[in-house]
Chains A and B, each alone.
Chain A
């Protein structure tokens, strides 16, 4: 049994034409950066690993997470944390409700779950932001909340789809390091999709170019 995220002979094709071929292992705390131009299929790879790939795309191969084959699992049970270009905090919920959406029910009392969400906010320097409207947070703050919402769901790996591209240049480096540090401290394998060479450099991991 190997810890980490294994992509075993994954091949994604569209109308008989192969888009992505990859076979690799991402160890816990490591980042694999998949680089490629738009339209190269890098986002499609992420959709596949997360369990959202559907017709007309076709895929073969396996996704193995900490030794378990999750290829035929639904996205709900894969425990893969997904982050898109935008933080996508639910606009109809407060910041705290967003975090509690990520927390599993797990037989905990409501007060206990709220306390865990508050603690997560403290961890990222946003103490007292719980009742705020997510739309009033800065882009960097939103990204941090989105990451905490992800981590509260106890994922076994992170899938990042250009999560820093919506931030302005000055915030980008800071947020980038924050996300990678969090992933390392939680010992999570990270699959990062990007077209920004700076992302790949900061990730300090392997680079796979499509």
Chain B
């Protein structure tokens, strides 16, 4: 009897674990944000429900301005990122140029937001590389000009940073789903009817494509309207957008500010939700306009101008990002780099030589959290995907047609941590961990990272896993191989490269986490990302650059391993190259 129960429960266990590990923190986190926002936080002496936290919140000077900034920068960054992605794809799909951009953008996806923001700052700041290149011969500046390029009041620098980070994400998401849309054939039909390349894609393929990248787009919107790390580095400060201000109130020793912060976290949820609602409205409008345009029969045969301009935009974006990133290692070895010198006058590897003192402890913490979380999440995702394979409904035909089944429920749930503004449930989660006496522990930080690493590993591995030819498994089982043998000897080795890439993506996501580490770690868990932002307000550019470079190196190492290990293991297996 008991054995029967175990056998019945085992296949569902991985799915149930994922639901609990993602669902519970979200539910408790949101509840833990709501109650203090209504004045109830016994730990800080708040026993009575009241609207005082909200009254405090709304009397904060410049709050409306902060809300408008979060809203405006988030929507603009998302709309720009999506437009660039879709238009570039429309203009260059099926060409070698697109392949080239794909190869350039794939590694950029792994660059943490903070590192990308530091790189951009080093590039465009008044004392940054670009002004130095032009000074003093063209600009006449022998001192950094007193202009607000970074932290500009409209948040333009922050929008630029967000777009640079989100375009690679949306572009690679687009390329991942494109095969499902049969776009290449649809474009051939459109071309043979006389449509130009760009118009053909936008009219025939784009609507179907958008449906498939909608969740990632909404995730970008939720993230951009509530971003903290990029806002602290590039965003306006007088006032700052909503999310960084909430973080500031949270760190205040006065309990009243904590309650106000929780009300702010709830307000952030509403602001982001409102942005999503507005976005959905814009979707409708675009679809309506699109339908009208689709019927007008205009061919737009000559589309070279837009194709060239999209190529220039994308090239500019990639170039800016790469230039910024390259400045990080350069700054990390510069001793004296006075304005307006274009290059450092003295180079020193002191910071790198003393790495155990300059960054040793944070590096070790980052590595341990990253490895623990990535391995745990990887095992969970593998166990879940394998359990789908073994369930009687798990055959390929059912998987693609299953709607409303447990697998599509998990598909949506797994996206939820990426669709909610982090600060809105992290506040409550922090309260919960304080209650459990777990705040500031590695364990709590790992649990929180898991919420963000699981989705990335799952999203990366799901596609290759489903695309694996099911006939291999059928063949193996008709040869008498049991399910475990098929899993270990056939499926896992065939998917090795995809699996390692997914783990590298997960590890990169863990390294990049700022807000979850800072809040749940209660300031006691210091990673290279949290430390780099702590340094940001100080003026030690070389040290910031060292941390920024480390943020680049760790994910890069992961991806390097992910491509080297299969290449070595399968060096004599031609068909395994380029597999997956």
User: A92, B398: Cβ atoms under 8 Å?
Assistant: no
A153 to B485, CA, bound (A): 15
A136 to B493, CA, bound (A): 19
CB distance from B364 to the nearest CB of A (A): 35
Query: Which of B216-224, B241-249, B284-292, B471-479 contacts its partner?
Result: B471-479
> From A154, which residue of chain B is reached at the shortest CB distance?
B480
A2 to B228, CA, bound (A): 75
> From B486, which residue of chain A is reached at the shortest CB distance?
A76
- Judged by DSSP, the binding face of B is helix
Chain A interface residue count, CB cutoff 8 Å, equals 35
CB distance from A57 to the nearest CB of B (A): 9
B490 at the interface (CB under 8 A from A): yes
A80 to B480, CA, bound (A): 9
User: B570, A50: Cβ atoms under 8 Å?
Assistant: no
Chain A positions within 8 Å of B479 at CB level: 81, 101-102, 149-150, 153
Query: Which of A23-31, A58-66, A82-90 contacts its partner?
Result: A82-90
In residues 114-163 of chain A, which contact B (Cβ within 8 Å)?
133-136, 149-150, 153, 155, 159
A56 at the interface (CB under 8 A from B): yes
A104 to B393, CA, bound (A): 29
In residues 81-117 of chain B, which contact A (Cβ within 8 Å)?
none
A149 to B476, CA, bound (A): 10
Task: Give which listed residue, A56, A80, A84, A102, contacts B471 with CB less than 8 A.
Answer: A84
> From B393, which residue of chain A is reached at the shortest CB distance?
A55
A4 to B393, CA, bound (A): 31
A-B contact pairs, 6 of them (CB 8 A): A54-B392, A55-B398, A76-B477, A84-B471, A92-B494, A133-B573
Task: Give which listed residue, A56, A82, A135, contacts B574 with CB less than 8 A.
Answer: A135
Chain A positions within 8 Å of B469 at CB level: 88
B295 at the interface (CB under 8 A from A): no
Q: Mark B261-278, 1 if CB is under 8 A from A, else 0.
A: 000000000000000000
Chain A positions within 8 Å of B412 at CB level: none
Task: Give which listed residue, A82, A94, A136, contacts B474 with CB less than 8 A.
Answer: A82
In residues 396-423 of chain B, which contact A (Cβ within 8 Å)?
397-398
B482 at the interface (CB under 8 A from A): yes
Which 5 residue pairs spanning A and B have beta carbons closest together? A91-B575, A135-B574, A135-B575, A82-B478, A92-B493
Q: B interface vs A, CB < 8 Å?
A: 392-393, 395, 397-398, 469, 471-472, 474-482, 489-490, 493-494, 496, 570, 572-576, 579
User: A92, B478: Cβ atoms under 8 Å?
Assistant: no
Chain A positions within 8 Å of B480 at CB level: 76-77, 79, 104, 153
CB distance from B382 to the nearest CB of A (A): 17
A42 at the interface (CB under 8 A from B): no
| Additional 11 contacts, C-beta under 8 A, given A76-B481, A88-B472 | A56-B398, A79-B480, A80-B478, A82-B478, A91-B576, A133-B572, A133-B574, A133-B575, A136-B574, A150-B479, A159-B478
In residues 92-109 of chain A, which contact B (Cβ within 8 Å)?
92-94, 101-102, 104
> From A150, which residue of chain B is reached at the shortest CB distance?
B479
Chain B positions within 8 Å of A153 at CB level: 478-480
Chain A positions within 8 Å of B481 at CB level: 76, 101
CB distance from A204 to the nearest CB of B (A): 25
Chain B positions within 8 Å of A54 at CB level: 392-393, 395, 397-398
Task: Give which listed residue, B478, B482, B573, contacts A50 with CB less than 8 A.
Answer: B478
CB distance from A195 to the nearest CB of B (A): 18
Chain A positions within 8 Å of B474 at CB level: 50, 52, 75, 82
| A-B pair number, CB within 8 angstroms | 79
CB distance from A193 to the nearest CB of B (A): 14
Chain A positions within 8 Å of B579 at CB level: 91
User: B471, A88: Cβ atoms under 8 Å?
Assistant: yes
A14 to B477, CA, bound (A): 25
Chain A positions within 8 Å of B573 at CB level: 91-92, 133, 135
User: B393, A101: Cβ atoms under 8 Å?
Assistant: no
User: A75, B477: Cβ atoms under 8 Å?
Assistant: yes
> From B471, which residue of chain A is reached at the shortest CB distance?
A84
With contact pairs A54-B398, A92-B570, A133-B572 given, residues A84 and B478 touching in the complex (Cβ less than 8 Å): no
A79 to B469, CA, bound (A): 22
User: B574, A90: Cβ atoms under 8 Å?
Assistant: no
> From B496, which residue of chain A is reached at the shortest CB distance?
A92
Chain A positions within 8 Å of B476 at CB level: 101
A153 to B475, CA, bound (A): 11
Chain B positions within 8 Å of A101 at CB level: 476, 479, 481, 489
CB distance from A92 to the nearest CB of B (A): 4
A150 to B479, CA, bound (A): 7
- Among B471, B478, B482, B490, the most chain A Cβ lie within 10 Å of the Cβ of B478
Chain A positions within 8 Å of B496 at CB level: 92
User: A88, B393: Cβ atoms under 8 Å?
Assistant: no
A81 to B476, CA, bound (A): 10
A54 to B391, CA, bound (A): 11
CB distance from A148 to the nearest CB of B (A): 12
A94 to B490, CA, bound (A): 13
In residues 10-66 of chain A, which contact B (Cβ within 8 Å)?
50-52, 54-56
Chain B positions within 8 Å of A51 at CB level: 478
User: B482, A82: Cβ atoms under 8 Å?
Assistant: no
A90 to B475, CA, bound (A): 10
> From B566, which residue of chain A is reached at the shortest CB distance?
A92
A78 to B100, CA, bound (A): 50
Chain B positions within 8 Å of A88 at CB level: 469, 471-472, 475
CB distance from A115 to the nearest CB of B (A): 19
Chain B positions within 8 Å of A150 at CB level: 479
With contact pairs A54-B397, A133-B572, A135-B575 given, residues A91 and B477 touching in the complex (Cβ less than 8 Å): no
With contact pairs A91-B575, A133-B574 given, residues A82 and B475 touching in the complex (Cβ less than 8 Å): yes
Chain A positions within 8 Å of B489 at CB level: 101
Chain A positions within 8 Å of B471 at CB level: 84, 86, 88
> From B470, which residue of chain A is reached at the shortest CB distance?
A52
Chain B positions within 8 Å of A149 at CB level: 479
A76 to B494, CA, bound (A): 21
A80 to B575, CA, bound (A): 27
CB distance from A136 to the nearest CB of B (A): 6
